[in-house]
Amino acid sequence: MAVSVTLPALGESVTEGTVTRWLKAEGEHIEADEPLLEVSTDKVDTEIPAPASGTIASIKVAEDETVEVGAELAVIDDGSGAPAAAAPAAEPAAEPAAAPAAEQPAQAEAPAAPAQPEPAAAAPSGGGAAEGTGTDVVLPALGESVTEGTVTRWLKQVGDEVEADEPLLEVSTDKVDTEIPAPTSGTLLEIAVGEDETAEVGAKLAVIGAAGAAPAAAAPAPSAPAKPAEAAPQPAQEAPQAPAAPAQPAAPQTPPEPSRAQPAPAQPAPPAQPAPAQPAPAAQAPAAPAAPAPAAAPESDGAYVTPLVRKLASEQGVDLTTVRGTGVGGRIRKQDVIQAAEAAKAKAQAPAAPAAAPAAAGRPTSPKLEPSPLRGQTVKMPRIRKLIADNMMKALHSQAQLSTVVEVDVTRIMQLRARAKEGFAAREGVKLSPMPFFVQAAAEALKAHPSVNARLNDDGTITYHDVENIGIAVDSEKGLMVPVIKEAGNLNLAGIARKTAELAKKVREGGLGPDDMSGGTFTISNTGSRGALFDTIIVNYPQVAELGIGATVRRPMVVNHPDLGETIAIRDMVYLTLSYDHQLVDGADAARYLNDVKARLEAGEFEGELGL
């Protein structure tokens, strides 16, 4: 029977997607839920899993081609072997539920044992659906451009009863931390992704079945002593199905080959007997746990390794036996593999440097710059980089941009911060950086200069915002991100500091939600955080202005002292740059706005809010 693979809906307002890479070719065998292809949209990059097991009969859409949601991408042919594999699965599936204790000796002694691996191997590939009463719990799309999530905590364990829409687990992504509810009521039969493990959007997290199925999942737990370091929920599920245990930790390519080889030798017992010499796990139940144990044991002292991590390690050429896992129970995470790969590349490229001569006292030393591995390469532009590029070009093509710069003496701000930072941190729970002073001064001035906090509409009208939602441009590993401080004009210094710290933490650790990134009316970019004196920044379209903060530099300035008159003193100086759309904001408007911000900062009247 032919099964059609279509492009699913991948987010709000997503109407089409581009096939970036096929992970399988025509004629190859694939298991249900195994990644089939990679698709990119304007909001998300993700893998599309196979809806059924079988052979890829045809690929309808080539790489780099774009199709609409619902379009047919490929056709999977079940073949004559799929119904045969599914038929015996119905009877053995009922036997473990009725008599789990009797199943293990049957697998070891009965002649029918060689036939059991075939339906057992089919069960994981189809998830709970293969058992007839199971419902897969999958990782849903959790925001724009979110392609994977990390399970931070399971709220239920195998064998627990769950109600529909009851929180089942907690998941963390790079943009949102949330709970995943149970899609249906029943008993939690299987946990496919352990805590601190990462799975891709659409991947199976667990299986929920009828209440009577719980003992079948929990009973075989004692039969998994070969993997004492693994998480309990997964061995408990895989132990009664001998081939399923190696199928989970094994690389994604391993299951398809035995699956194709099994239909012929599955019925006659003699061909199954010589099999232990080659695919030992698929031949006998007792040998299944023992076969992968030697390979898995050295990896981080026996810690469980997900198929996703194994695949990544294989692609990066990382030996998992040398990787120290930082996850729960010493598990090796995706980040561990990436760090190991980067460390190996850096070590391989590092030239044999001679012993450095001791630096002269007080003389600064130049940093040792390593050549980038990107030199000489042509690579595909990352999705987030492409979105940033498109928005930058749209801003330049849609606006008449101009920049105005003023110089501000922030010596008093730095003095106030030095006096108040310890008490502020103890009272508010966050550090007091200079940034909240600039945000508050900018927000206050926006109320008096509506043209700077506005928007030009396509119909020729102007919208003057009645709220100051200030975006903070942040440089992250994934690219430029602009989380938004909502209603910054109504917040005091402490409120701005707390919100700034919260958003900065989300950018560093992941967890920014769609609401955190939307609704901005004005943006502030701290270009001086990397030492730049000032920058002619590009406005964050469709806003009409953006403020750039340069580096704070101590240098001699002429000041008018009340007692000494004009004199030279060491002052903390900073450049403020306002880039704006000259279609709406004139140079005089920009200068007036900047001078109001300058006056607020140089006056430094923040003692009341700082408790001084």
Average pLDDT of 225-245? 40
Q: CA 305, 307, 312, 318: dihedral to nearest 10 degrees?
A: 40
Give the SS3 label for residue 163: coil
Residue 597 has pLDDT above 80, yes or no: yes
- Domains along the chain with CATH numbers: 2-77 (2.40.50.100), 81-90+115-257+285-297 (2.40.50.100), 311-347 (4.10.320), 383-610 (3.30.559.10)
Helix (H) or strand (E) holding 29: strand 29-30
For residue 116, the model assigns a pLDDT of 41
For residue 239, the model assigns a pLDDT of 39
The residue that leads in pLDDT, 149 or 125, is 149
- As a whole number of angstroms, the distance between CA 287 and CA 275 comes to 11
Nearest to 544 by CA among 472, 446, 437: 446
For residue 257, the model assigns a pLDDT of 41
Nearest to 189 by CA among 234, 223, 244: 234
Residue 26 has pLDDT above 50, yes or no: yes
Average pLDDT of 17-46? 83
- As a whole number of angstroms, the distance between CA 128 and CA 138 comes to 11
Q: Which residues pair with 547 in a beta bridge?
A: 524, 578
- As a whole number of angstroms, the distance between CA 32 and CA 207 comes to 15
Range with the largest mean pLDDT of 95-99, 307-311, 431-435: 431-435
For residue 512, the model assigns a pLDDT of 79
Spell 396-434 as b/e; 16+ CB within 10 A means b: eeebebbbbbbebbbbbbbebbeebeeebeeebebebeb
Phi, psi of 567 (to 5 degrees): -150, 170
User: Which amino acids are annotated catalytic?
Assistant: 582, 586
Residue 480 CB burial class (10 angstroms; 0-12, 13-18, ≥19):
middle
For residue 43, the model assigns a pLDDT of 59
For residue 493, the model assigns a pLDDT of 93
The residue that leads in pLDDT, 169 or 106, is 169
For residue 470, the model assigns a pLDDT of 96
For residue 319, the model assigns a pLDDT of 85
How confident is residue 369, by pLDDT bands cut at 50, 70 and 90? Answer: confident
545 within 8 A of 583, measured Cβ to Cβ: no
The residue that leads in pLDDT, 410 or 268, is 410
Residue 57 CB burial class (10 angstroms; 0-12, 13-18, ≥19):
middle
Average pLDDT of 485-506? 92
Helices (H), 262-362: 269-272, 280-283, 287-290, 293-296, 307-316, 334-349
**All residues at 6 or more sequence positions from 326 whose CB lies less than 8 Å from its CB, including other chains:** 333, 335, 336
38 within 8 A of 21, measured Cβ to Cβ: yes
- As a whole number of angstroms, the distance between CA 435 and CA 533 comes to 16
Overall size of the chain counted in residues: 612
Residue 221 has pLDDT above 50, yes or no: no
How confident is residue 477, by pLDDT bands cut at 50, 70 and 90? Answer: confident
335 within 8 A of 326, measured Cβ to Cβ: yes
For residue 305, the model assigns a pLDDT of 62
Least confident of 18-27, 285-294, 334-343, 531-540: 285-294
How confident is residue 198, by pLDDT bands cut at 50, 70 and 90? Answer: confident
Least confident of 46-50, 118-122, 268-272, 345-349: 118-122
For residue 32, the model assigns a pLDDT of 84
Residue 588 has pLDDT above 50, yes or no: yes
For residue 262, the model assigns a pLDDT of 41
How confident is residue 206, by pLDDT bands cut at 50, 70 and 90? Answer: very high
For residue 454, the model assigns a pLDDT of 96
Least confident of 267-281, 377-391, 573-587: 267-281
For residue 48, the model assigns a pLDDT of 87
Average pLDDT of 448-459? 95
187 within 8 A of 223, measured Cβ to Cβ: no
- Two structure tokens written together for 250: 């094994």
The residue that leads in pLDDT, 603 or 272, is 603
**All residues at 6 or more sequence positions from 10 whose CB lies less than 8 Å from its CB, including other chains:** 17, 39, 41, 43, 44, 46, 69, 141
For residue 61, the model assigns a pLDDT of 92
The residue that leads in pLDDT, 519 or 223, is 519
What pLDDT, in 10s, does the model give residues 543-557? 999 999 999 999 999
For residue 563, the model assigns a pLDDT of 85
The residue that leads in pLDDT, 90 or 205, is 205
540 within 8 A of 482, measured Cβ to Cβ: yes
Average pLDDT of 113-137? 48
Residue 384 has pLDDT above 90, yes or no: no
CA distances from 369 to 21, 372, 422 (A): 34, 9, 37
Query: How many other C-beta atoms are found inside a 10 Å radius of the C-beta of residue 4?
Result: 12
549 within 8 A of 534, measured Cβ to Cβ: no
**All residues at 6 or more sequence positions from 72 whose CB lies less than 8 Å from its CB, including other chains:** 4, 5, 6, 60, 61
Q: How far is CA 498 from the centre of its chain?
A: 24
Q: Which residues pair with 180 in a beta bridge?
A: 169
Q: Mean pLDDT, the chain, as a whole number?
A: 75
For residue 13, the model assigns a pLDDT of 65
